[in-house]
Amino acid sequence: MNFMTSPGSNSISDERYENGDFRMVVFSVRTEDEVFADFRSAFKGVEKGYAEISFITSDLLWRILTGKRWDILTAMAGAGEMSIREVARKVGRDVKAVHGDITGLIKSGVVRRGESGKVIFPYDYFELRVSNRRAAA
């Protein structure tokens, strides 16, 4: 398992987002045990109030969330469904290069295709939470 979504937070295709419950997503580096603890809490009715996409290692997080992909997510945040050409225009990059980055973000579960076939990052804003806590232990 390379990356996971946490419940109470869940994946971007979660219908809870569709109802407007999650405006923010947090990208984090967490162990499987930490993510599964969230699943157990969610089954007990405990919610975080935001979505979370967790990666097993910081290396994987940085491979998925490169600087140029971060720019793409910033441009897409809160914008609704967009064509790849529109995203490329907003970030000032070549359409083919942006297409490759968006394909990577779709494969990793960060971005998805909307009903119209355009792409969507269904959050208004996002945060990155990374700690060296485990490395220091």
User: Is 78 inside any structural domain?
Assistant: yes
Compute the distance between CA of residue 110 and CA of residue 102 in angstroms, rounded to an integer.
9
Q: How confident is the model over 38-66, as pLDDT tens digits?
A: 778 878 877 777 888 888 888 999 999 99
User: Is 137 inside any structural domain?
Assistant: no
Here the CATH number for the domain that contains residue 81 is: 1.10.10.10
Number of neighbours of residue 45 by Cβ within 10 angstroms: 7
Q: For the chain, give the mean pLDDT.
A: 82
User: Is 36 inside any structural domain?
Assistant: yes
Contacts of 40 (CB under 8 A, 6+ apart): none
Domain coverage including residue 64? 3-131
User: Is 72 inside any structural domain?
Assistant: yes
User: Is 136 inside any structural domain?
Assistant: no
The answer to whether 69 and 101 have CB atoms below 8 angstroms apart is yes
- At residue 135, does pLDDT exceed 60? no
Q: How confident is the model over 102-130, as pLDDT tens digits?
A: 999 999 999 999 999 999 999 999 999 88
- At residue 94, does pLDDT exceed 80? yes
> Contacts from 94-101 at CB under 8 Å and sequence distance 24+?
97/68, 98/72, 101/66, 101/68, 101/69, 101/72
Domains of the chain: total: 1
pTM reported for the whole predicted model: 0.77
- At residue 99, does pLDDT exceed 80? yes
